[in-house]
Chain A
């Protein structure tokens, strides 16, 4: 898998002493559809990924697929609310092989230099007793089209998360305007 980046440890704050730390960041290359944060330290309470997402896949919008720890067994379930400007579509599913966030990012028919934005939260990622819940808020406006997405996902697996892969839908690549940054959020000592 190309575009794989090793996670680095950071250290920082959101208020007092270093509660929100930058761990690693990665950009699309235009030639790979996967960006992976690996070797994620277990020293935080929660993780957040923020960034801009732009796929080379066909259409105005494309899907974002997420795998945790490289797990591709049918153990992901999801619910999503998607707003299109004219209506809101709720949807959901079970037994998927990845966390599938549908229509969340821009495809190659979107306006030039328009990217989606995402905020992905993974709570209690280092727990070894809890299944893992993901929450994503994101989407894009394309001056007359576009999608807004509220998404939740469950990985039925209690292992601590040490790697996260963000995969472009449509078997396409991440454009160079794609930028993901991984942050760790500390709990109280």
Chain B
């Protein structure tokens, strides 16, 4: 029998809250974490807003030896993992040697670290490049550092599918549990908020150039103008439900019940986009009917054509009545961290019986979806669907269900 995979721990680092409690309170209160960039002077750039994680002093949370060898996003990921383990009341050292692994997603690696070392190389010469550059930039860094810090020797991995990757990482961790590893850490935390990363992000053509934090990222609004990038994300502890019971834990926040991933047809093919298929596959995998889904956490691109594709897919599968929300209007888009953060939000919705709002948005009626705006909406949430898309054509859908 396929084991049921449950989420027993959450670690959140988000622009509107550091730690799960702070993040969730801020999100239900509609607190915006988007502001003018402070990590570098954005004056000369066409876009100047971002979701930065506030008040994060790495030295307060991490041993000093880890600071020089890590990018900002790795430090955030290490802290999120530690909090998730604490939340699950898990001590990896007490598990058998190979019983715990790590799967993270990343889209751009430790880019700020990379910029500093590229500068060292070209300005000062090769001999000035850091001994840590060989692993602080690359996409596998968070998985490696997390596994080392906590002695996790089980199967591990790293998935890169731009902003869909965070859900793919959680799905891969679920596979590893089904194949026999009882406990996995999974998720994504990142950010490329340095001038070089910013310059590269700008060429995506999807970044909002507005200066008002409440008017810059407006998915499903007639006034949508692109999105605001952010940093952060979430790490989750996934367990085989049987292991959780054996160690006397409760079944946590909920079950990873279903997953589907598709890719859009190449441009000009005239074929339909793949998001609807991903949704349908995830529902089939979870063996739930569309009518059983209580809320959809939308990808919410903030780009009119992409919002239209998503609204049409949701409408086609669920009709106009399922509540849809996008609390990422308060954080900006967190790349591989965005999907896992939405998964955390969806699990908290199940726990608390409340759907967090999509802030600042006046829904455009042409999309014909029930967007949760104006404040949190009380609801009995038993099953939630989380959607994430990556630029280039990646579509992922994850179904979460209350633990029985």
Do the two chains belong together in a single complex? no
